[in-house]
Amino acid sequence: MSYAVEIEHLYFSYPDGTQVLKDLSVAISEDDSVGLIGPNGAGKTTLLLHLNGILRGEGKIKVFSREICDETLARVRRDVGLVFQDPDTQLFMPTVFDDVAFGPLNMGLPQDEIGRRVHRTLGAVDMEASAERPSHHLSFGEKKRVSVATVLAMAPRLLVLDEPTSNLDPGHRQQLMEILRGVSMTKLIASHDLEMIRVLTRQVILLSGGRIVAYGPTREILSDHQLLKSNGFFLLS
């Protein structure tokens, strides 16, 4: 089997000493679609930030069989597209168009291909009409949609999304789910939106206190109400 992600014995503490990831080992198959769930502070964002080397803990992480280290970082970052929880982290150019063009430009793509990718991905997230607006004038939900476009425009092999549906209105949440269902790369999606996880993923990793508590088929994990309740999920019966 080919793996998109292989993590062995990952430990990570922030500089202030907060230990977040504790002996975490996990593998994600290529072309799979995996949800990452867990209570606030479980370590979901911290784990995702390791996948393109923004954070570097102790242990071994391979992405598409390539171990993350200084020499492989540039290649890893081409393979892994990370949509941050906070879109302001992702958007820094003068206009929406420039923000989405930034990645493809850095990949050295020709100008006409960059233009095509920007229009296609902005169209997909329903933001094409805002292409010439400054990103910092957009609402939070609009920024969120543009930040998804910035990553889709680079056509990564692994799409990593941190809370992609937070602050989206129901229509745009549904639209984003359809976009994500339609893209074929490997996906890892951290979210508290269990309905979105149910629709979009085949496997779920449940993280709690920096450890993996369960990893299995989405329908099994999401129907194990005892497991979910004991890990901080409030479920309406």
Ligand X SMILES: Nc1ncnc2c1ncn2[C@@H]1O[C@H](COP(=O)(O)OP(=O)(O)OP(=O)(O)O)[C@@H](O)[C@H]1O
Amino acid at 234: F
Q: How many residues bind ligand X (CB under 6 A)?
A: 12
Region binding ligand X by CB under 6 A among candidate stretches 14-22, 87-95, 128-136, 214-222: 14-22
Nearest distance in Å: CB 38, ligand X = 5
Is residue 153 within 8 Å of 117, Cβ to Cβ?
Answer: yes
Q: Give the residue with the Cβ less far from ligand X, 14 or 92.
A: 14
Choose between 20 and 146: whose C-beta lies nearer to ligand X: 20
* Least distance from ligand X to the Cβ atom of residue 45, Å: 3
- Our separate counts of H helices and E strands in the chain read 9, 10
CB atoms within 10 A of CB 44: 22
String of contacts with ligand X for each residue 15-54, x by CB under 6 A: -x-x-x-----------------x-xxxxxxx--------
Closer to ligand X by CB, 142 or 163: give it. 163
| Min dist. Cβ of residue 41 to ligand X (A) | 4
Which are the contacts of 172, defined by CB distance < 8 A and separation ≥ 6? 126, 141, 145
Residue in the structure block whose two tokens are 């393109």: 52
66's enclosing H/E stretch is: strand 66-67
Structure tokens at 23: 């002996």
Determine, following the binding rule CB under 6 A, whether residue 112 of this chain makes contact with ligand X. no
| Beta-carbon contacts of residue 120 (< 8 Å; ≥ 6 apart) | 153
What's the rounded Cα separation, in Å, for the pair 214 and 226? 12
Smallest gap from residue 206 Cβ to ligand X (A): 11
Residue placing its CB nearer to ligand X in the complex, 20 or 34: 20
Cβ-based burial of 100 (10 A; exposed 0-12, middle 13-18, buried ≥19): buried
Q: How far is the CB of 155 from ligand X (least distance, A)?
A: 26
- Distance from C-alpha of 164 to C-alpha of 146, rounded to nearest angstrom: 11
Nearer to ligand X, 186 or 191 (CB): 191
Whichever of 37 and 159 has its CB closer to ligand X, that residue is 37
Rounded to a whole number of angstroms, the minimum distance from the CB of residue 187 to ligand X is 17
- The residues binding ligand X (CB under 6 A) are 14, 16, 18, 20, 38, 40-46
